[in-house]
Structure 1
């Protein structure tokens, strides 16, 4: 059966919402070090992944030819995870997430060399529109340089990990890609936690489980999206929609005030996303059949 061309879009939209829920869980654990949350998250996600792989009868190690890309995806993903958690811990939710949503630009640039996918001039214009919307919505005034640097590092490594997802494509089961991600992240977090451990208390345990479960679902969705998507840059543009979730959840759960400029900026972001998605779909539909 032919897969729907909109499937990667739906997977990415679901992943964006799930990652937003993960961010809420992180902010609900202010007394736990970021790396400790990563440890619990990795343990839960790895256990779920191994259980699913065993149920499907799929070996977790994948094909030898894909090993370099699987390991590189794991390393880039681990770096993005650590930097992203540190950013969320250090900055308010909305600006922390906004910084990380610069990732699609890094995905587009890396895709030129690693995937051979040129970014068309109009796509750069649309990315610029979205980035302009980010600047209008949040800006960087009042944010410490350390937090901004962490957010940019998270965006760069996240964008790179998405490119390796696309390089792997459908040659590996989505769960195998997730397995390598967690297998690389877990030992790093375990060693780091030995030097900075705080025992979770009460509701902390529930939030840790929620972070792990939502993470697993989000990783599966985002991996499926990049594996089946035809254009990494076009899919990555959908990631900007997480700004809407960040602004809404920041207001509802953490009392963050939203200014008029934020609404204007979000509208500009969505305009850039919509134009990029439309342009990518138009180019794909006009390509001659192979």
Structure 2
């Protein structure tokens, strides 16, 4: 276990995802459908390249689950990108991160898993953060909130489907399916909403795939080099980076209530990860 390198990888991953979020926020004149299209298309350069180089079969034997995972992920991405048109980038990222709560709820009904009482308490803390964000922060747009919560629900469903897929597929094959489906979906939906990018917008659009790919790559490396219960909480520094970049580049203002809401959301999620890690350690 190499904790020092794992921390470095997780910081790099969080920075990559934060920059991707900021670029999406910057591209306010480009439709969310186009952003999904270009983000996914540019990622295919990396996923196809990896699979071809390593001679890994691209077609899965479990097409139904793979396509279902891809559709859920693509619509989750689209809804999240749409929410950035209405919410500050830090708020949207924080709210998207409650996806594990929905995943846990899905797991109860679909996988017959049991959730401990203390885990429900941690989930309630996070939901209180959501309530504070909407109830006490007058800057929160209701439509944007609905969009990002739906994105989180679909993202939670993605976790469940990936759990069902298990280790039967190479991770890059799973991501490649996701990117192919998202490219097709984004391309079709963008046709009636197409706005031709201007100047540097082309560069930013194609850079989304690179930031997304390397964010995923370094996050995987972090989890490979250290225990999940140590690394998972560090993933939430993406919120910190995003808030700082949003305030610096877009002059976004975060009120006391919005910061408190985000802090509670992250605290509940980090506590749940820590508790699940303890349960696994005790089970060994």
Structure 1 and Structure 2 fold alike (TM over 0.5):
yes
Q: Which gives a bigger RCO, structure 1 or 2 (Cα 8 Å, sep 6+)?
A: 2
Residue number in structure 2 paired with 1:216: 213
Q: Tell me, yes or no, if the aligned pair for 1:129 and 1:268 is still in contact at 8 Å.
A: yes
- Seen in structure 2, the aligned counterparts of structure 1 residues 149 and 238 have a Cα distance that, compared at 3 Å, is farther
Q: Tell me, yes or no, if the aligned pair for 1:41 and 1:212 is still in contact at 8 Å.
A: yes
Looking at structure 2, the residues matched to 225 and 185 of structure 1 have their Cα atoms a distance apart, in angstroms, of: 26
SS class of match (2:283): coil
- Seen in structure 2, the aligned counterparts of structure 1 residues 167 and 153 have a Cα distance that, compared at 3 Å, is same
Q: Does 1:187 align with 2:184?
A: yes
Q: Tell me, yes or no, if the aligned pair for 1:177 and 1:223 is still in contact at 8 Å.
A: no
Cα deviation, 1:44-63, whole Å, max 9, x if unaligned, reads 1112111110111101113x
Q: Tell me, yes or no, if the aligned pair for 2:76 and 2:155 is still in contact at 8 Å.
A: yes
Aligned residue runs from structure 1 range 84-99, under 5 A: 84-99=80-95
Q: Which 10-residue stretch deviates more, 186-195 or 144-153? A: 144-153
Looking at structure 1, the residues matched to 21 and 263 of structure 2 have their Cα atoms a distance apart, in angstroms, of: 22
Aligned residue runs from structure 1 range 50-69, under 5 A: 50-62=48-60, 64=61, 66-69=62-65
Q: How far does residue 120 in structure 1 lie from its aligned partner after superposition? A: 1.3
* TM-score, normalised by the number of residues in structure 2: 0.84
* TM-score, normalised by the number of residues in structure 1: 0.83
Q: How far does residue 225 in structure 1 lie from its aligned partner after superposition? A: 8.5
Q: Does 1:71 align with 2:41?
A: no
Match of 1:141 among 138, 146, 149: 138
Q: How far does residue 224 in structure 1 lie from its aligned partner after superposition? A: 7.9
- Seen in structure 2, the aligned counterparts of structure 1 residues 18 and 116 have a Cα distance that, compared at 3 Å, is farther
Q: How far does residue 212 in structure 1 lie from its aligned partner after superposition? A: 1.4
Q: Tell me, yes or no, if the aligned pair for 1:106 and 1:160 is still in contact at 8 Å.
A: yes
Unaligned runs of 5+ in 2: none
Looking at structure 2, the residues matched to 145 and 268 of structure 1 have their Cα atoms a distance apart, in angstroms, of: 20
Q: How far does residue 191 in structure 1 lie from its aligned partner after superposition? A: 1.4
Q: How far does residue 176 in structure 1 lie from its aligned partner after superposition? A: 0.3
Match of 1:19 among 17, 25, 36: 17
- Seen in structure 2, the aligned counterparts of structure 1 residues 238 and 68 have a Cα distance that, compared at 3 Å, is farther
Match of 1:131 among 117, 127, 132: 127
Q: How far does residue 160 in structure 1 lie from its aligned partner after superposition? A: 0.9
Q: Which 10-residue stretch deviates more, 238-247 or 87-96? A: 238-247
SS class of match (2:144): helix
Aligned positions, number:
283
User: RMSD between aligned alpha carbons?
Assistant: 3.4
Residue number in structure 1 paired with 2:28: 30
Residue number in structure 2 paired with 1:169: 166
Looking at structure 1, the residues matched to 233 and 108 of structure 2 have their Cα atoms a distance apart, in angstroms, of: 15
Cα deviation, 1:36-81, whole Å, max 9, x if unaligned, reads 111111111112111110111101113x1x3222111101001101
